[in-house]
Amino acid sequence: MRLNYLANALGLIMIYIGIVVLAPIPVGLYYHETQSILPFVTSALIGILGGYALRKLVPDASKVENINDIKKSEALFIVAVSWVIFGILSAIPYMFYGLNFLDSLFESVSGITTTGATILTNYNYEKAFFFWRSLTQWLGGLGIIVLFIAILPQFAVAGRQMFFAEAPGPTEDKITPRIRNTASALWKVYSVLTILEIILLKFAGMPLFDAVCNSFSTLAAGGFSPNPQSIMGYHSNLINWIVLIFMFIAGSSFILQYKAITRRSLKLFWQNEEFRVYTIMVCLFSLSIAAVLYFNDNYSIFESITSGFYQVISITTSTGNASKDYIYWDFTAQVLLFMVMFMGSCASSAGGGIKMTRWILVFKSLKSELMRILHPNAVMNIKIDNSVVPTDVLRQIFIFIFFYFMVFGIGAIIITIAEKDVVIGLSGSITALGNIGPGFGPVVGPMGSFSSLTDVSKTVMTVSMLVGRLEIVPFLVFFQRDFWSIKR
């Protein structure tokens, strides 16, 4: 890796993250919260000055006019470190509101990775605080690097490597030949949907500020709400269904949505195999839970269907907010929800988790292997949407899933030992790695707070959230000796 290329790109990213941190100041001024200026100005100055210093102090970094010939290893490093920097700079304002560094970092990383877990025990904070918490989710939902690729000319060509490093999927799917146009198109769809949800929530009776924050959270599959009782606190079935629908949209591919819009064809959704399986699995689990709630918890038909669909979509898309406190549901319903935590949403969506495409290809591969036992000479290609999936892609998927469950297992063991509670260990590990947010039990449940967890658990979950958001790969390469070959 070339040190001057790394310093040039990271310095530029730090500068622009610093500029982004200034966004809550107008909100604070509008609500006469002048004391909210200092936290965000401080963080912004650290980012901007740090970025300039990095580009000036590293030899030849400022002389790099473009990074079009960036290598894959360099792209992986830049993306991984950028998210760490984003998390640290985003955490600085929280420290001005009385949170210690670890809690601030946990809250920050939960925001940028759209996890939705929170250490807050009270919600007596300024509007600027909640706006920043929601905005970090919105920026992290589609990806801060994807945003910079869309707006910065320096990343117009080199952005391809970073684009797929930030949002690694089973296949490299893009809309246009130029990756900058693809990034720009995704942000347009993302922004329009966010504005549409804000309008609908406002008309449904939600205060405008809350509508903005909850829309940022929904489209990003982030889950955090300025209401301490999450969406349940608004006591409106209409709001529940608006959020439910937009969560489902956030969990489907934005690339597929863009194609359907530009080609004016809704048929494209059902023609897409991943979207079909995603929809079928959501309906299957939702109706199963609805049946349990109706027969075992005495919910009405409408309430059981609403609660079943809402919570399944919230968890499978890794949004993680709640319309009901599901820790009081029947045990069968809770087991089904725990299974949903491993399901994941669609590739190229704002959702986290393993992703539906990977599960489809895993089961097709297993079916193919079983068929080969019966027909050893048969030639069977694994296809998705009538396209043959290369063998190396299938191999990468199995490796990904192996490491995913390995990270989950290690995290669960450490958290269980630290908390002396298996439920917190299992649900805390998967909810962090899958960027879901709430787990099970009164501590990490949908109405709980992660503040009482030990520092060890918070640290493990903070790392898991970052690893899960970048889908493991950028962090795995850190353990390769060749990766650390630095050149000036």
Do 251 and 345 meet the contact criterion of CB atoms below 8 Å apart? yes
Beta bridge partners of 2: 487
Average pLDDT over residues 242-247: 95
How far is Cα 343 from Cα 346, in angstroms, rounded to an integer?
10
pLDDT tens digits for range 396-417: 889 889 999 999 999 999 999 9
pLDDT tens digits for range 109-168: 999 999 989 999 888 999 999 999 999 999 988 877 777 776 666 665 555 666 666 665
Closest to 201 measured CA to CA, from 191, 189, 215: 215
How far is Cα 422 from Cα 85, in angstroms, rounded to an integer?
32
Residue with more model confidence, 366 or 483:
366
Mean pLDDT comparison of 81-95, 159-173, 339-353, highest-scoring range: 81-95
Average pLDDT over residues 83-112: 95
How far is Cα 35 from Cα 236, in angstroms, rounded to an integer?
34
pLDDT at res. 62? 64
pLDDT at res. 5? 75
pLDDT tens digits for range 40-70: 999 999 999 999 998 888 876 666 666 666 7
Exposure string (b/e) for 408-442, b if CB count within 10 Å is 16 or more? beebbebbbebbebebbbbbbbbbbbbbbbbbbee
pLDDT at res. 479? 72
312-to-280, 338, 356 alpha-carbon distances in Å: 12, 10, 14
How far is Cα 138 from Cα 141, in angstroms, rounded to an integer?
5
pLDDT at res. 280? 96
pLDDT at res. 165? 61
Checking if the pLDDT of 31 tops 70, the result is: yes
pLDDT at res. 85? 93
Do 37 and 28 meet the contact criterion of CB atoms below 8 Å apart? yes
If pLDDT is split at 50, 70 and 90, which confidence band does 390 have?
confident
| 3-state DSSP of 334-356 | HHHHHHHCCCCCCCCCCCCCCCH
Whole-number mean pLDDT of the chain? 88
Residue with more model confidence, 373 or 278:
278
**Left (φ > 0), alpha (ψ -120 to 50) or beta: where does 349 sit?**
beta
pLDDT tens digits for range 422-458: 999 999 999 999 999 888 988 888 888 899 999 999 9
pLDDT tens digits for range 210-234: 999 999 999 999 888 999 888 999 9
DSSP 438: -
Residue type, 38: L
pLDDT at res. 223? 84
Average pLDDT over residues 315-333: 90
If pLDDT is split at 50, 70 and 90, which confidence band does 303 have?
very high
pLDDT at res. 459? 96
pLDDT at res. 437? 86
How far is Cα 291 from Cα 304, in angstroms, rounded to an integer?
7
- Cα dihedral 402, 404, 407, 408 in deg (nearest 10): -110
At 2, is the secondary structure helix, strand, or coil? strand
Beta bridge partners of 388: 383
* Share of residues in the chain with pLDDT > 70 (%): 90
Residue with more model confidence, 272 or 69:
272
At 173, is the secondary structure helix, strand, or coil? coil
Q: Where are the domains of the chain?
A: 391-484
Checking if the pLDDT of 486 tops 90, the result is: no
Predicted model pTM: 0.92
Residues in the chain: 488
